[in-house]
Amino acid sequence: MRLSSPQENRLRELCDRQQNESITSEEDCELKGLMQIYEEKLVQQAQALNEAVKRSLIPPLEA
């Protein structure tokens, strides 16, 4: 559950540009959309890991 390579590359590019220079309002909207997708996928991954631990498919992660 990851971003596609083009999405990941574009997210990285927009984040870098935002930190080093200004981005357009269109790019800002694109960045926010990609961040939302990234966060949703991260939550899905966490939920899947939690379910796998509950079902004893994998051991709990070490803290």
Q: Per residue in 14-49, pLDDT tens?
A: 999 999 999 999 999 999 999 999 999 999 999 999
Write the CB contacts of 58 (distance below 8 Å, at least 6 apart in sequence): 49, 52
Return the closest-CA partner of residue 35 out of 51, 18, 21, 22: 18
Write the CB contacts of 45 (distance below 8 Å, at least 6 apart in sequence): 1
Q: Are 15 and 9 in contact (CB under 8 A)?
A: no
Can you tell me the distance from the alpha carbon of 16 to that of 52, in angstroms, rounded to the nearest whole number? 35
Confidence bin at 2 (pLDDT 50/70/90)? confident
Q: What are the boundaries of each domain within the chain?
A: 5-54
Q: In the predicted model, is pLDDT for residue 1 greater than 70?
A: no
Q: In the predicted model, is pLDDT for residue 63 greater than 80?
A: no
Q: Is the pTM of this model over 0.85?
A: no
